[in-house]
Amino acid sequence: QVHLVESGGGSVQAGGSLRLSCAASGYNYSSYCMGWVRQAPGKEREGVAAIDGDAGTSYADSVKGRFTLSRDNAKNTLYLQMNSLKPEDTAMYYCAALLGTGSRIATMPGRCSDFGYWGQGTQVTVSS
C-alpha cells in the first residue's frame, strides 16, 4: 500500500525559501517517478515538478529556475527546494507517486505518468 507523508510547509514572506520533504513507503520507490502537485483554493491541481528513477527532472514553467526537485533513494524520500517564493505559490502541496496506475493526479511536466497516488498535503503560504 502506497503511503506518502509530506512535511516542511509553512508561512513565509515573498522572496523566502522552504524545503518540502516526502517520505514514501509501500512500493519500490527507486523504480518510479515521483512528483509534487499543488492546488490553490478554487483552482485545479497543477503539476509542479517530476523526477524519474534516474533523477531526471522536469518543471512547470511557473516554477522553473526557482524550485529544485531531488530524491534520496536510500531514504525513500523526495525533496522540493523552493526559493524566491511568490504569493502565487500559495497552495496545498501534495507529494505524488507517479506509478502509472491509480487516479489521475494532474498534468505532470515531462514524461512521467499523470496517474498514481498522493499524500495528505502540506500547506505553503507566501505573503507579499
pLDDT of residue 39: 98
Angle, alpha carbons 17-19-93 (nearest 5°)? 100
Q: Give the C-alpha separation, 34 to 41, whole Å.
A: 24
Contact 72, 125 (CB under 8 A): no
pLDDT of residue 85: 98
SS3 33: strand
Instruction: Point out the residues of the chain with pLDDT beneath 50.
Output: none
Helices vs strands, H then E, count in the chain: 0, 12
